[in-house]
Amino acid sequence: MLAVGGHVLDDLASQCVRMATGLAGGVGDTQQEMCGALSGGVLVIGGALGRTGLSENDRPALTLATRYRQRFIAEFGYTQCARLRETAVYAPGGLGSCAALVERSAMILLELLSAAEPGHPIP
């Protein structure tokens, strides 16, 4: 959320950042749920393209979140924090830290958000 949200969202309130804190480490650092980098990216997508009322179309945000998840899996193989740590972060030849995974997932998110600009189809 911090890696991209502050750059693409007009008003990333400190309360929004605090609300996302519990998602780190696969929810509360349990490593049992979805990677915090992926969760944070989905929150940024919602902030950029999400609806503000029930009468609005939520399809743009849902479509981009699906694409982000697909690209994340293609890059890292899994969405669960523990599996990512085993296979992509701390495995021999792996990224070496979650910071490197966050950086790479932020780049994927920025590519997708850039392609989702008005007049551009979502890849």
Instruction: Tell whether the model's pLDDT for residue 123 goes beyond 70.
Output: no
Q: Are 11 and 34 in contact (CB under 8 A)?
A: no
Is residue 44 assigned to a domain? yes
Report the predicted TM-score, pTM, of the whole model to 2 decimal places: 0.84
Instruction: Tell whether the model's pLDDT for residue 91 goes beyond 60.
Output: yes
Is residue 60 assigned to a domain? yes
pLDDT at 79: 97
Q: How far apart are CA 43 and CA 5, in angstroms?
A: 8
Return the amino acid letter for 33.
E
Q: Are 63 and 112 in contact (CB under 8 A)?
A: no
Is residue 123 assigned to a domain? no
pLDDT at 7: 62
Give me the domain span that covers residue 55.
Answer: 2-115
Here the tokens at position 121 are 């189809």
Is residue 33 assigned to a domain? yes
Structural domain count, the chain: 1
Q: How far apart are CA 64 and CA 115, in angstroms?
A: 10
Is residue 29 assigned to a domain? yes
Here the tokens at position 9 are 């969202």
